[in-house]
Homo-oligomer: A and B are copies of this chain.
Amino acid sequence: MNQNPDARVGGSVRVVGTGLLGASIGLGLTRRGVDVILSDASRASLDLAVDYGAGRPPHEGDDPALIVVAVPPDATASVVAAELNAYPRATVTDVASVKVAPLSELEALGAEHGSPDLARYIGSHPLAGRERGGAISARADLFVGRPWVVCPRPGVARDRVGLVEHLALDLDAAPVALTAEAHDAAVALVSHAPQVVSSLMAKRLDGAPASALALAGQGVRDVTRIASSDPELWVQILSANAPAVAEILRAFRDDLDDVLRALGDVEAPGARRTIAQELAAGNAGVAGLPGKHGQDRRFASVVVMVDDRPGELGRLFTELGEIGVNIEDLRLEHSPGAQIGLAEIAVLPETKTRTVDDLSARGWRIAG
């Protein structure tokens, strides 16, 4: 019987590691009334996460149903093993960004590590994060709408897998079943290789003349945004998934060599065609991404021109409230110094016509 009426997971949940992911999990579960036990090798980190409302410190006799190991990839296997041994009834999962390496490491652990009971271990990985780490950046809604990959090994009990899926659902994430190998290949493509590419492009900017950097627009900013990620964490991730990442980067490098050859003599026969084909292949690749950035297809967009003076946005949103339209998302384009801002409002598609008509009737200028 579930002690947590607002949650799917029953019983207490122990979270080991109170960084960004661990603290966010604690916040989200606590909000659902789950008893969250926090543990961290650093007393200061633990205290911060407790103060932050992510859970409570451990007590003698804690008997968690589920343990979530949220420590850096290099430490994951040994911490999982220790938790399996310390809590002989608990299901143990981890949230590391790689899944094959910790599992292989666990399988290699022998009697000197107490021969951990891997029938109770199910690796998982929530696809969520921020450039900023630590409990201080934690958010209860970090996982909302994000995939949470669950990698059960063959033979693991179905109800234990279900417990990890319930964890994901309680945090409003979407559980996705993949093998550890399929997971690692997928994240090599959509996360690890892009990290390397972004970092190496950003490195080119280091030491560049200010007059050149002053010309930077949104394009290079977007390409290099994730280059601000933590090197220490990413060395662990890339090392743990090296073969899959290298396979993608080698193909990238081969294409880059083709482009470099073409750029070396752009008048040579076929040179321009080579470049065009690479660019066109990039078009095709980005078109395949589901739900493209900035154009969430679930919503319709209304762009309203707003005078740049205090209270104008307030008046707009008050009137949207009067009209009875809820704002699903919002982006303000405002050029400092300009007299006009553009408020791009995402609304449910069925309310768009009414929103535009009612706002126009109230004198708002609709830009698109």
Per-residue CB proximity of A127-148 to B under 8 Å, as 1/0? 1110000000000010011110
Q: Is the CB of A225 within 8 A of B330?
A: no
Query: Which A residues from 167 to 184 make CB contacts under 8 A with B?
Result: 172, 176, 178, 182
Q: Which residues of B contact A199 (CB under 8 A)?
A: 278-279, 281-283
Per-residue CB proximity of A181-204 to B under 8 Å, as 1/0? 010011101110111111111111
Size bracket, chain A contacts:
35 or more
**CA A176 to CA B216, docked complex, whole Å:** 13
**Copies of this chain, how many?**
2
Q: Is the CB of A206 within 8 A of B288?
A: yes
Q: Is A310 an interface residue (CB 8 A)?
A: yes
Q: Is the CB of A272 within 8 A of B239?
A: yes
**CA A220 to CA B205, docked complex, whole Å:** 20
**Smallest CB-CB separation from A256: which chain B residue?**
B253
Q: Which residues of B contact A318 (CB under 8 A)?
A: 311, 314-315, 317-318
Q: Which residues of B contact A283 (CB under 8 A)?
A: 199, 202, 227-229, 231
Q: Is the CB of B298 within 8 A of A336?
A: yes
Q: Is A326 an interface residue (CB 8 A)?
A: yes
Q: Is the CB of A285 within 8 A of B189?
A: no
**CA A311 to CA B227, docked complex, whole Å:** 38
Q: Is the CB of A272 within 8 A of B189?
A: no
**Smallest CB-CB separation from A241: which chain B residue?**
B263
Q: Is the CB of B286 within 8 A of A266?
A: no
Partner of A222, one of B213, B281, B293: B293
Q: Is A359 an interface residue (CB 8 A)?
A: no
Indicate the member of A245, A260, A264 with the most B CB atoms within 10 Å.
A260
Q: Is the CB of A328 within 8 A of B336?
A: yes
**CA A363 to CA B328, docked complex, whole Å:** 23
Q: Is the CB of A313 within 8 A of B317?
A: yes
Q: Which residues of A contact B (CB under 8 A)?
A: 127-129, 141, 144-147, 149, 172, 176, 178, 182, 185-187, 189-191, 193-229, 231-232, 234-235, 238-239, 242-243, 245-246, 248-253, 255-257, 259-260, 263-264, 266, 271-272, 275-276, 278-290, 292-293, 298, 308-322, 324-338, 340, 342
11 contacts between A and B (CB under 8 A): A182-B212, A190-B212, A193-B204, A194-B224, A200-B252, A205-B289, A206-B284, A227-B285, A253-B253, A309-B326, A330-B332
